[in-house]
Amino acid sequence: MVCGVLAVVLFGALAPAVAAAPRASEPVYDYTKAIRETVWVDIGRDGDGDGQSDRVAADIVRPSEPAAAGTKVPVIMDASPYYSCCGRGNESELKTYDSAGKPVKFPLFYDNYFVPRGYAAVLVDLAGTNRSAGCADVGGASDVGSARKVVDWLNGRATGYSAKTGGSAVSAGWSTGNVGMIGKSYDGTIANGVAATGVAGLKTIVPISAISSWYDYYRSDGATFGFDPAGLAQTVEANNSGQNCSAQNQDLATGATANGDYGPLWAARDYVAQARNVHASVLVSHGVNDLNVKTINFGQWWDALAANHVERKIWLAQTGHVDPFDYRRSDWVDLLHRWFDHYLLGVDNGVQNGPMASVERQPDQWADQSAYPAANAIATALRPQAGGKLGTAAASGTASFTDNPNVGEDTWVTNPGSAALTYSTGTLTSDLQVSGTSSLTVTATPSTSSARLSALLVDLGPATIRNFAGSGEGIKTGTTENCWGSSTTGDDACYRITSADPKKVNYTILSRGWADLANYASLSQERVLTPGTAYTMTFRLASTDHVVPKGHALALIIGGTDGSFIRGPARPGRVTLDLAKTSASVPLAGVLPAASTHPSLGGGAFVPSAGRADLH
């Protein structure tokens, strides 16, 4: 039991011969009396070249009662570049301040809910954004160092000040040093990056729709999506006129080469390569239809964490780029409460046990799994065969398509013509689960000196899914609110209620992948292709967990430039596949049919929007 005025019961009392269930932290502190302050933490860099070490603003709200008694509290941190430019959450909340510069509005519900329960909420402006000095570097040393140094300060290893320049030193004597980082998109990405440094004191992270490798946000196995990090840096720096970031932005523009090569800029922003340093537990959430932060980002991160034996759990929704607070609100808040209680307060509530994964099968219908990928999923070689069949038997012969960058994935599914090749398992006699990360190996002969490759895994059959291509990316936002914690004037805990936005479809694209054949030998250096020469390349398809129902079929579609997402080659041409040397490795649980009868798509095809270039 916790001593002093911290009236948060961590363990139930022992009844005769029976232990009562452990209890959660409770809202016993007065949120209206909470301490609100800003500390500027020195990050030891001079990103804006003004000759002074950059300080980042950490806005803090913490309960006053433990502070008065000298009792320390743990920290929930969200480090973001979006607190003044773009907003956080479904309602795009921004930070606000009073006339003296004291923080008033803390976006999202973390402060409202957790501060009364004995936590501090710390919202950090990344370098170069909002009230912080320095420059954003889009996932690099400045971004990650902004948050890591605040973790250090909370543990007495860095210096904080009472002002952006000058001021007096401020300590975090009120902090236990236990920190949990949380955030969606860019914010969750920074949590991944800080965890990959192995910083002491970071006990857990909750990355929501987060990037694990910035290369895989802007590029895909040599292919390019058509947007670059310098533009994002300028967006988040726009409301902070106190620095000159032209040099940093030029470094971003130069480092992100126009081709899809993996170079030093991307290597410095590859957290998967540093996952061996992760000691914090990880609670992942991602939409399997997220066309902004593509799902390969959670899949490769998850696999790397598994190799490092990190304690972890995962939620996979049918949404696009959406926070679970807006698709499964009550359950998510309950899970976060238990998660933070366990890893930051030490409550023995068993949240780390039980099912590892929770997956949305249909809108608002969830299934728990003991593991992700599914425990019985086996990497299976699926081979395209003559006659449009897809199976495990050896194939022979060739097949060709003509690259047409003006069409994209939905045309490929409904009316591919000569632009793509379709291969199908035929009608399934039982459910078939695709769970994990797939890849495609091709031996391809281009007719020109440049070529793109794209591939889709498709569930052919009718279904009701979340409308992830709609404006809400799978959710509808109502007009009524519910409240999650305590409120003050200027910082309420109430948010508009959301619901699923369903849509009937005749097929579902469950995984995508793209590549530049010029990177067949190396992602680090593309090569000019010789027309008429065969090249072998393996590239990844997006991570997922999807059940193809009995009566549907699983299809593999292979083409050139998927115009919905990637840029086409300089000289589009004809590409010929050697079917004997072309196969997809797909993690499957279930039995493939022996025969090949193909279900008809019918009308009402679902046309998603192109991949989004905004990270919020």
Q: Which residues are catalytic?
A: 185, 290, 321
Rounded Cα distance between 301 and 69, Å, is 41
- Per the CB < 8 A criterion, the answer to whether 142 and 127 are in contact is yes
**Inter-CA distances, 458 with 298, 410, 413, 561, Å:** 20, 10, 8, 17
**Inter-CA distances, 462 with 273, 470, 506, Å:** 40, 19, 4
Place of tokens 């620095």: 243
Instruction: Provide the token pair at 194.
Output: 């800080």
DSSP 166: S
Place of tokens 């910083």: 199
Rounded Cα distance between 133 and 37, Å, is 18
Closest C-alpha among 497, 471, 475, 472 to residue 484: 497
Rounded Cα distance between 229 and 357, Å, is 32
Closest C-alpha among 72, 78, 81 to residue 156: 72
Place of tokens 């913490």: 62
Rounded Cα distance between 147 and 498, Å, is 31
The b-or-e profile of 473-489 (16+ CB within 10 A means b, else e) is bbbeeeeeeeebbbebe
- Per the CB < 8 A criterion, the answer to whether 614 and 229 are in contact is no
- The 10 Å Cβ neighbour count of residue 536 is 14
- Per the CB < 8 A criterion, the answer to whether 200 and 218 are in contact is no
- Per the CB < 8 A criterion, the answer to whether 294 and 213 are in contact is no
Rounded Cα distance between 445 and 450, Å, is 10
Please report, for the chain, how many H helices and E strands are present, in that order.
11, 33
Rounded Cα distance between 457 and 392, Å, is 16
Instruction: Provide the token pair at 163.
Output: 């002002």
